[in-house]
Chains A and B, each alone.
Chain A
Amino acid sequence: MRRLAELKPGERGRILEVIAMAESLAALGFIPGATVRVRQRVRGGPLLVDLGESMYALGREIAAMVAVEPEMDCLGPRRGTSQRGR
């Protein structure tokens, strides 16, 4: 298990648990089982993540509160967009 804040640009993770602000993040789609992809990160600053068709800027301290399981994505065709929980 890792934290969303630790993922590098281009890496994906499946959300295991949102530890803080769970309710407000859940409304945006940050729910256990959803897949997020880190698109950009500002050194020492926020992250830009893809979730479904949406893109969110997340403060580092928030991203550190999202537990994820990194997803390997090296094989097979690249999925255009991530999928939410199924």
Chain B
Amino acid sequence: MRHSCHSPTTTIPFLRSAQDLPVVALVGNPNSGKSTLFNALTGSCAETAHYPGTTVEILTGLVPLGDRQIMLVDLPGLYTLRGGGEERQVVREVLRSGVDAVVAVVDATNLARHLYLVLELRSLGLPLVVALNMIDLLTSQEGRVDVKELERLLGVPVIPTIATTGQGVDKVVQKVLSITSSPPPAVAFLGPELDDSIEKLGDALEGYPLPPGLSRLSVALLLLEGDPEVTSFFSSRPGMEGILQQVVETQERLEETLGMPLAVAIAAARHRVADHIAKQVVKPGVRRESWLWSLAISPRAGVFFLLGVLAILFTVLFWGGNFLSTLLSAGWAMAVSPFLQTAARAMFGEGVIGRTVLWGVDAGLLAALSVGIPYVLTFYILLAFLEDTGFLNAMAFLADRLMRSFGLHGRAIIPLVAGAGCNVPAIIGTRVLPTMRERTIASTLITLVPCSARTAVILGAVALSLGILPALALYLLVLGVIVLVGWGLGKVLPGQASPLVMEVFPFRRPVVRVLWRKTWARFREFLIVALPLVMVGSIVLGGLYESGLIWKLSRPLAPVVEGWLGLPAVAGLTLVFAVLRKELALQLLVALAIVRYGPGAESLRAFLNGRQIFVYALVNTLYIPCIATIAVLARELGWRRALLISTFTVALAVAIGGVANRLILWWGA
């Protein structure tokens, strides 16, 4: 299997590649610099893949090493291997699938906490190298680590690294290759009392079959901790009652002496050992917190800070994105469009087919790019900045209370506000949320947030013809709908907002190169997902239009559009086309109106009254997301949810549009 930059969503043939390369897994706490280290080792050429049968994304990349190569696997960041959740299960599975080596990335400025995971890995007896990362930060805080002593206490090699500059990363790889054949013996590291019991249970396992790749000691510890996979390995086999009985007896005895659940007692013991080791080898530095950081987490002043960041986000996406988008469209019309038109005519002729193809390659490509580059790329840069500096978590802390009333985690504030620029990156941004339920709620709400394209319609139609007050009223109405839908979904969808337990990192200076790599990896993924779908959607729509089928198909819509919404039929048709790009609705409406009513229809007021303009903009804002949005919805949540959300928004738009129509009529406007 060749690794290239162009096919980032394949399923990894886990985990052995055809070339039988050594496989090395990267493990570490979130924000340990693990992904930065991965980037430094693999360059920008990495593949993203879903672990088979899960939604967990895993990055793989090749690391050249002289005439050899190793396959590096970046596993999801976690604090512990234990416990539920898809991510931890995947990490456990990968680690037990016979990886050749594991690199544990730890933060030198918070060694005690990060050593906890290292001790867990040590108890599995894996071939392990510890990358002691952010050593530069510790030095700048005037702290120090005795690396030799740390190696001695842990029994595995420790390499100081600075992932952001790439310092030390080569040494990590060399070390990894030298240890793959000789894994260190597993050590429980839990203090005398627990260690004894584990050893005894380990001896009792003599002669029993063991899960592959694990020593008796590791298995004994995992059984006592209640590890689901190892427990089911034994309970699913006949003749294991004796050993399982012994596990239960040991658990009960230990719980009685220790006075707490055994899993908690083991965690506590491991923390004590981690603390003890850290105290012996670290001379801690002095942390200085910047005033900006203190401001960002202060409940009162922080709210203004939060509003400020959101305002910047909105402004950059809204005005900046709009500016870039207009520029791109103009450049496209001048430089690319004529060429494509000539080419399409030459290949497919002047007929229906040629024009249909043009819908796809000309209008479709432009639609995807004019969302992609100005909005998606800009948002990704801002999001990466907020993540890497640590501000995202600080903001989530302050916004949690508000978001919770929608059944959402505090982190949802960023994608929701970003939705006002463009829904597409905002929906991809919901990945910062912990559960599928929250991502579904947040994504649904985002599709209702008027993005800049819909705002262009609101401003171009309502504000221009009716004045600013009706436009504001429309925004308020939409905001009210969002709040109600959010509240309703929070009640209706089973489950609860996941409780907030989140590490908040002190402010870190971002590294431009790392930001850019992260941004580019995400952007590339967007292009690969959205581009083909938008083009295919455009060709289908174009075919319907060019063949004239669209007029027939839209006839059944007439009662809804004319009767219920009170709009002329031609307006309904443009709403269908707005699926391609929302601001197209208005441009098409004017164009079709000229065809239908002759010159003079340039002004909306010539053929629409104030009520109709308002209802038109309202429906256009609320109903079905554009093709690019549907594409990312499907990618993030699956096709079923994407279609459900789209259908829901159509129903909502028709219902609210119709009611607004009646209300305005009744009011006598």
Binding site for B on A (CB under 8 A): 17-18, 21-29, 31-34, 39-46, 48, 52-59, 61-62, 80-81, 84-86
Given known pairs A23-B263, A42-B397, A84-B271, the reply for A62 and B503 (CB within 8 Å) is no
Chain A proximity of B549: nearest CB distance (Å)? 54
Contact at A43–B500, with CB atoms within 8 Å? Answer: no
Task: Tell me the B42-72 residues at the A interface (CB within 8 Å).
Answer: none
Stretch of B76-84, B125-133, B199-207, B657-665 at the chain-chain interface: B76-84
Chain A proximity of B392: nearest CB distance (Å)? 12
Choose from A18, A46, A55 the contact partner of B264 (Cβ within 8 Å): A18
Q: How far is the CA of A56 from the CA of B504 in the complex (A)?
A: 5
B residues within 8 A CB of A46?
A: 397, 400-401, 410, 500
Choose from B264, B393, B401, B502 the contact partner of A22 (Cβ within 8 Å): B264
B residues within 8 A CB of A31?
A: 264, 267-268, 271
Task: Find the residue from B83, B261, B263, B499 having the highest chain A CB count within 10 A.
Answer: B499
| Interface size of B in residues (CB-CB distance below 8 Å) | 39
B residues within 8 A CB of A84?
A: 112, 271-272, 275
In the complex, number of A-B residue pairs with CB atoms less than 8 Å apart: 120
Contact at B401–A45, with CB atoms within 8 Å? Answer: yes
Contact at A56–B501, with CB atoms within 8 Å? Answer: yes
Q: How far is the CA of A48 from the CA of B404 in the complex (A)?
A: 16
Contact at A27–B267, with CB atoms within 8 Å? Answer: yes
Instruction: Give the residue name and chain of the A residue nearest to B267 (CB).
Output: A26
A residues within 8 A CB of B267?
A: 23, 26-27, 31
Task: Find the residue from A34, A39, A53, A84 having the highest chain B CB count within 10 A.
Answer: A53
Contact at A27–B272, with CB atoms within 8 Å? Answer: no
Q: How far is the CA of A27 from the CA of B112 in the complex (A)?
A: 12
B554 within 8 A of A: no
Contact at A42–B116, with CB atoms within 8 Å? Answer: no
A residues within 8 A CB of B83?
A: 23-24, 27
6 pairs across A/B with beta carbons < 8 Å? A23-B267, A40-B297, A40-B397, A44-B401, A55-B503, A84-B271
Contact at B396–A55, with CB atoms within 8 Å? Answer: no
A residues within 8 A CB of B396?
A: 57
Task: Find the residue from B109, B267, B275, B398 having the highest chain A CB count within 10 A.
Answer: B267
Task: Find the residue from B83, B298, B393, B504 having the highest chain A CB count within 10 A.
Answer: B504
Task: Tell me the B281-324 residues at the A interface (CB within 8 Å).
Answer: 284, 286, 297-299
Instruction: Give the residue name and chain of the B residue nearest to A41 (CB).
Output: B299
Contact at B275–A26, with CB atoms within 8 Å? Answer: no
Given known pairs A29-B271, A40-B299, A46-B400, the reply for A24 and B113 (CB within 8 Å) is no
Choose from A27, A43, A61 the contact partner of B116 (Cβ within 8 Å): A27
Contact at A53–B410, with CB atoms within 8 Å? Answer: no
Contact at A53–B109, with CB atoms within 8 Å? Answer: yes
A residues within 8 A CB of B410?
A: 46, 57
Choose from B79, B109, B272, B397 the contact partner of A28 (Cβ within 8 Å): B79
- Shortest 6 CB-CB contacts between residues of A and residues of B: A45-B401, A27-B80, A26-B267, A59-B500, A31-B268, A57-B397
Q: How far is the CA of A18 from the CA of B272 in the complex (A)?
A: 17
Instruction: Give the residue name and chain of the B residue nearest to A27 (CB).
Output: B80
Task: Tell me the B235-282 residues at the A interface (CB within 8 Å).
Answer: 260-261, 263-264, 267-268, 271-272, 275
Instruction: Give the residue name and chain of the B residue nearest to A15 (CB).
Output: B268
B residues within 8 A CB of A43?
A: 299
A residues within 8 A CB of B260?
A: 17, 32
B residues within 8 A CB of A45?
A: 398, 400-401, 404
B329 within 8 A of A: no
B residues within 8 A CB of A40?
A: 297-299, 397
Instruction: Give the residue name and chain of the B residue nearest to A55 (CB).
Output: B504
B residues within 8 A CB of A58?
A: 500-501
A residues within 8 A CB of B272?
A: 84-86
Choose from A22, A27, A53 the contact partner of B79 (Cβ within 8 Å): A27
Choose from B110, B264, B400 the contact partner of A57 (Cβ within 8 Å): B400
Contact at A54–B80, with CB atoms within 8 Å? Answer: no
Given contacts A28-B79, A62-B499, 7 further A-B contacts (CB under 8 A): A39-B297, A45-B404, A48-B504, A52-B275, A56-B501, A56-B504, A59-B499
Instruction: Give the residue name and chain of the B residue nearest to A81 (CB).
Output: B284
Instruction: Give the residue name and chain of the B residue nearest to A34 (CB).
Output: B271
Contact at B502–A56, with CB atoms within 8 Å? Answer: yes
Chain A proximity of B347: nearest CB distance (Å)? 58
Contact at B82–A22, with CB atoms within 8 Å? Answer: no
B506 within 8 A of A: yes
Q: How far is the CA of A17 from the CA of B260 in the complex (A)?
A: 9
Chain A proximity of B108: nearest CB distance (Å)? 11
Q: How far is the CA of A29 from the CA of B80 in the complex (A)?
A: 11
B residues within 8 A CB of A42?
A: 299, 397-398, 400-401
Chain B proximity of A61: nearest CB distance (Å)? 6
Given known pairs A25-B501, A42-B299, the reply for A53 and B110 (CB within 8 Å) is yes
B residues within 8 A CB of A39?
A: 297
Q: How far is the CA of A19 from the CA of B257 in the complex (A)?
A: 19
Chain B proximity of A74: nearest CB distance (Å)? 23
Task: Tell me the B467-524 residues at the A interface (CB within 8 Å).
Answer: 499-506
Contact at B261–A22, with CB atoms within 8 Å? Answer: yes
Q: How far is the CA of A32 from the CA of B263 in the complex (A)?
A: 13
Choose from A54, A81, A85 the contact partner of B503 (Cβ within 8 Å): A54
Contact at B501–A26, with CB atoms within 8 Å? Answer: no
Task: Find the residue from B82, B268, B284, B505 having the highest chain A CB count within 10 A.
Answer: B268
Q: How far is the CA of A25 from the CA of B267 in the complex (A)?
A: 10
Q: How far is the CA of A42 from the CA of B393 in the complex (A)?
A: 14
Chain A proximity of B251: nearest CB distance (Å)? 14
Q: How far is the CA of A59 from the CA of B362 in the complex (A)?
A: 50
A residues within 8 A CB of B286?
A: 80
B residues within 8 A CB of A57?
A: 393, 396-397, 400, 410, 500-504
